[in-house]
């Protein structure tokens, strides 16, 4: 990966609550200089296979026709705790190459215990995990679950907390814009400012995106 290449592992299309077709989302990302994107639409028990199936088909075509890595994923959202392990398994079986779970953000009523259940179930990324506990961050490190530095308004308010605990435990971080509309797409320089504002150093920001790229290559 060339230094300064933007990797965004959390984006939404109109297959859930975004406003863009997958093709326009990826084209706009490409135009802003992104080298790798994951389209991770929201899903629960009602629409999982349908959403992932559509994304697998779209992302395969886009990856062949555009000079950008495109990963079909999913963001499991507001999943009852007891169902999380099965939903993670079903996501992978349906073709999701990257499984995110909607963490306990401070701006939405996510069920307490969701962060731990997601980590124990082996998701790839715990998205905007809010006021995650030190014990959960350590568990994420042990289970090779990445924690997200979020570019989304509201969710980003706890980035500093997440970064501090991740640094202490050696837990790996990734970046996700949580894009829902064109104005949410972040360039590398914009994402870098968000990460620096969360307390990461220049070297740590570089390592974050190197880690994100390695994860993308692993699953993609």
pLDDT band (50, 70, 90) for residue 215: very high
Mean pLDDT for the stretch of residues 142-161:
97
The helix-helix angle for 134-142 and 159-169 (nearest 10°) equals: 60
Mean pLDDT for the stretch of residues 88-116:
98
On whether the 6-219 domain is CATH 3.40.50.1220, my answer is: no
Pairing of strands 146-150, 173-176: parallel
Do residues 185 and 29 touch, judged by C-beta distance below 8 A? yes
Which has the closest alpha carbon to 124: 98, 163, 93? Answer: 98
pLDDT band (50, 70, 90) for residue 3: low
* pLDDT number for residue 63: 84
The pLDDT tens digits of the residues spanning 172-196 come to: 999 999 999 999 999 999 999 999 9
The per-residue pLDDT of the chain, averaged, comes to 96
Mean pLDDT for the stretch of residues 38-54:
98
pLDDT at 153 over 80: yes
pLDDT band (50, 70, 90) for residue 126: very high
Kindly give the residue spans of alpha helices, DSSP state H, lying in 47-187. Answer: 48-65, 84-94, 114-120, 134-142, 159-169
pLDDT at 150 over 70: yes
pLDDT band (50, 70, 90) for residue 64: confident
Q: What percent of the chain has pLDDT over 90?
A: 95
Write down the residue that tokens 């190197």 correspond to: 210
CA 112, CA 115: separation in Å to the nearest integer? 8
Pairing of strands 69-76, 6-11: unpaired
* pLDDT number for residue 2: 62
pLDDT at 120 over 90: yes
- Chain centre distance of CA 148: 6
The pLDDT tens digits of the residues spanning 130-146 come to: 999 999 999 999 999 99
pLDDT at 203 over 70: yes
Taking CA atoms, 48 is separated from 15, 42, 133, 141, 200, in Å, by: 11, 8, 29, 27, 35
Do residues 144 and 123 touch, judged by C-beta distance below 8 A? no
pTM given for the model: 0.97
* pLDDT number for residue 5: 83
Length of the chain counted residue by residue: 220
Query: What does the domain layout of the chain look like in residue ranges?
Result: 6-219
Mean pLDDT for the stretch of residues 77-96:
98
* pLDDT number for residue 37: 97
Mean pLDDT for the stretch of residues 11-24:
97
Mean pLDDT for the stretch of residues 94-115:
98
* Cβ-based neighbour number of residue 201 at 10 Å: 11
């Amino acid at each position: 990966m060339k230094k300064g290449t933007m990797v965004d592992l959390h984006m939404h299309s109109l297959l859930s609550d975004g406003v863009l077709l997958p093709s326009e989302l990826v084209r706009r990302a490409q135009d802003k200089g992104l080298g790798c994107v994951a389209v991770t639409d929201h899903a629960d028990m009602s629409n999982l296979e349908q959403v992932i199936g559509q994304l697998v088909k779209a992302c395969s075509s886009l990856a062949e026709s555009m000079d950008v890595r495109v990963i079909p994923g999913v963001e499991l959202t507001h999943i009852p705790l007891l169902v999380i392990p099965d939903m993670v398994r079903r996501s992978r079986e349906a073709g999701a190459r990257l499984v995110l779970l909607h963490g306990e953000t401070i701006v939405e009523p996510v069920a307490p215990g969701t962060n731990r259940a997601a980590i124990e179930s082996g998701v790839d990324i715990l998205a905007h995990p809010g006021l995650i506990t030190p014990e959960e961050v350590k568990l994420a490190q042990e289970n090779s679950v990445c924690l997200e530095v979020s570019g989304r308004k509201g969710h980003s308010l706890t980035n500093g907390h997440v970064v501090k605990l991740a640094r202490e435990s050696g837990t790996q971080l990734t970046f996700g814009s949580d894009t829902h509309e064109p104005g949410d797409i972040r360039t590398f320089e914009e994402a870098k400012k968000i990460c620096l504002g969360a307390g990461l150093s220049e070297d740590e920001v570089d390592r974050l995106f190197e880690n994100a790229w390695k994860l993308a290559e692993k699953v993609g």
